Amino acid sequence: MWRMARPRKPLLSRDRIVEAAGALVDTEGLEAVSTRRLAAALGVSGPSLYNHFRTKDEILDAVADSVSARVDLSMFDGGPDWRGALHAWAHSYRDALADHPNIVPVLARGPGRRPAGLRLADAVFGAMTEAGWSPAQATRIGALMRYFILGSAVASFARGFVDDRAAYDPADYPHLGQAHLLAERGREVDEGAFETGLAALLDGLALQYEALKGAV
């Protein structure tokens, strides 16, 4: 009599490890990631993870790179509108980070050897130099945009205030009489702040670009 074969467990792979680690980071933060926790989540022994990653930091790097890979770079494909490209890219980048804010500290270290992170940096730098910015200026623009986008994803300004009118006594804080309302409008405030800051940055860069072209 033939016995029905038991279904096999999915083979362990880098993608499965990254997916499990990313889920832990999203729900519990960076400190929750350990080989023990990952092995338990994947139904494998801890040492088997080392066939794919040597260290926890390598796993977190891979999680970070999987987030970078979600950022749209198509706006940099040969178009002359560098300002419009930066605007669209900044929103795509922020959207990716907003879905996975706990991984931002790893991304803030820089791309290192991460392929998606390097493709991102290459696309921005290439588009800026092709638009006429010098390599030094293109590097600064890439850094500036990165600082701004990553900073916007670290925390919410609006949710830094509590929903309690008594916390902002006009006798002590005469200009914060409505601050208790900010918490419930967190998304609106934060998205508005991002768009305001982005427009200011791009307006300033446009002025520099006009001066650059006028000097040629």
pLDDT mean over 133-147: 96
Cβ proximity of 123 and 72 under 8 Å: no
Cβ proximity of 33 and 21 under 8 Å: yes
Please spell the DSSP secondary structure of 84-117, one letter per residue: HHHHHHHHHHHHHHHH-GGGHHHHTT--TT-HHH
pLDDT > 70: percent of the chain: 95
Residue with more model confidence, 125 or 79: 125
The per-residue pLDDT for range 23-44, each reduced to its tens digit, is 999 999 999 999 889 999 898 8
Q: Tokens in use for 37?
A: 């926790």
pLDDT mean over 134-138: 96
Record the pTM.
0.87
Q: How confident is the model at residue 155 (pLDDT cuts 50, 70, 90)?
A: confident
pLDDT mean over 74-88: 90
- Three-state secondary-structure class, residue 163: coil
**158: number of CA atoms within 13 Å, CB side?**
15
| pLDDT exceeds 90 at position 86 | yes
